[in-house]
Amino acid sequence: MAELARSARTETFPRMRLMEYGTIAEDLRSFMEQPPYCHIFSRPARTKAIFDSLQQVEFVHPLLDIYGYFKAHDPYTYRHILTVFALSRLLAQDFFDDRNELSRELAAASNHDFGKICVPLGVHKRSTPLSEHERMQLSHHAAAGYVLLSYYLMDPNHPAAITARDHHERCDGSGYPRGIALQNRVVEIVAVSDMFDALISPRPYRPHSYDLRTAMEELTVLAHKGAVSADVVRALIGCNRKNQPHYTECTLSHEQRGTPPPDNLYLGAIPCSYESDGNPDGDPKA
Ligand SMILES: [Fe+2]
Ligand SMILES: [Fe+2]
């Protein structure tokens, strides 16, 4: 993958601020006003700080056009990428004090699923079980995103490229595409944000989304198993609480009272790897 990502290119592309592209800024604001994000982003000062830092993120034009493609052809993925971006930035505040570091990490989270542009739309929108070949096509989005971002950012080690490649890896090595034990705080944050947004959103293969309680319980189970970062899940729990405490003030409970939604082609708890649920994109085509 790294060789392909490093393949020669000498031209440079014009850069532009992400939040000035198309209707991204107003779309993101509108997504953040919908439940449960309206509570998660309910503190004006905190939300303003997030938007101020989002304003600093720049990308080259071919990458920005991917947002335009998703908005036109796959609105779920468009919304998902943006909400995961904002949520990751919010959670990162609990782990990174330095503003510059936070901004760097932030840029990494902005396009975790860009590789999905390489997946046929029919596969994204399928409401029936995928064939083995289609599952492979879907799971390919992590590697495809890595190559795409490495190429356009001219850096195979760019945090955005690494995040695109590794956001379906898990801390216990049960993820994909490489099955490595994830040890990167930024990617751990994106991975939890990614699963959370996928669970609480309607999907083609799951007409009803998880309620907030059940989604948090599913993530807590994964944290107890060591598949995802317990600290990041605690930070997510904190964001969903009334006074939004720091993650160190939150605990993970073993109690499970929620019920996964009906008519769910994806059965049971969130899979840590695509083999476990027949759905290659981790849970949830996340
Ligand atoms: Fe995702
Ligand atoms: Fe993904």
Angle between helix axes 75-92 and 230-240 (nearest 10 degrees) is 100
- Centre of ligand 1 from the C-alpha of residue 80, in Å: 7
Q: What pLDDT was estimated at residue 186?
A: 93
Q: Of 228, 225, 234, 209, whose CA–CA distance to 284 is shortest?
A: 209
Residue 286 forms part of a structural domain: no
pLDDT in tens, 39-65: 999 988 888 888 888 888 888 888 999
Residue 25 forms part of a structural domain: yes
CATH of the domain at 100: 1.10.3210.10
Q: Which ligand is closest in space to the CA of residue 190?
A: 1
Q: Which ligand is closest in space to the CA of residue 87?
A: 1
Residue 202 forms part of a structural domain: yes
List all residues 6 or more positions away from 49 whose beta carbon is below 8 Å from its beta carbon: none
Q: Which ligand is closest in space to the CA of residue 169?
A: 2
- Centre of ligand 1 from the C-alpha of residue 248, in Å: 26
For the stretch 136-155, what's the b/e string if a residue is b when 16 or more beta carbons lie within 10 angstroms of its beta carbon? ebbbbbbbbbbbbbbbbbee
List all residues 6 or more positions away from 163 whose beta carbon is below 8 Å from its beta carbon: 108, 109, 112, 186, 187, 190
Q: What pLDDT was estimated at residue 124?
A: 85
Q: What pLDDT was estimated at residue 274?
A: 31
Q: Give the whole-angstrom CA distance, residue 209 versus residue 162.
A: 29
Residue 283 forms part of a structural domain: no
Q: Give the whole-angstrom CA distance, residue 269 versus residue 218.
A: 6
In the predicted model, residues of the chain with pLDDT beneath 70 are: 1-11, 100, 103-104, 106, 258-286
- Cα torsion angle, 237, 241, 247, 253, sign: negative
Q: What domain range is 182 assigned to?
A: 2-6+13-277
Angle between helix axes 24-32 and 75-92 (nearest 10 degrees) is 70
Residue 282 forms part of a structural domain: no
Residue 284 forms part of a structural domain: no
- Centre of ligand 2 from the C-alpha of residue 243, in Å: 31
Question: Number of H helices and number of E strands within the chain?
Answer: 15, 2
Lookup result for tokens 């059965």 = 267
User: Around ion ligand 2, which residues have CB less than 5 A away?
Assistant: 113, 286
- Centre of ligand 2 from the C-alpha of residue 191, in Å: 9
Q: Which ligand is closest in space to the CA of residue 115?
A: 2
- Centre of ligand 1 from the C-alpha of residue 112, in Å: 6
Query: Number of folded domains in the chain?
Result: 1
Catalytic residues: 116
- Centre of ligand 2 from the C-alpha of residue 163, in Å: 10
Which structure tokens are listed for 173?
């090595």
Residue 285 forms part of a structural domain: no
Query: Can you name the residues that pair with 16 across neighbouring β-strands?
Result: 59
Peptide bond into 177 cis (omega under 30): yes
Q: What pLDDT was estimated at residue 283?
A: 47
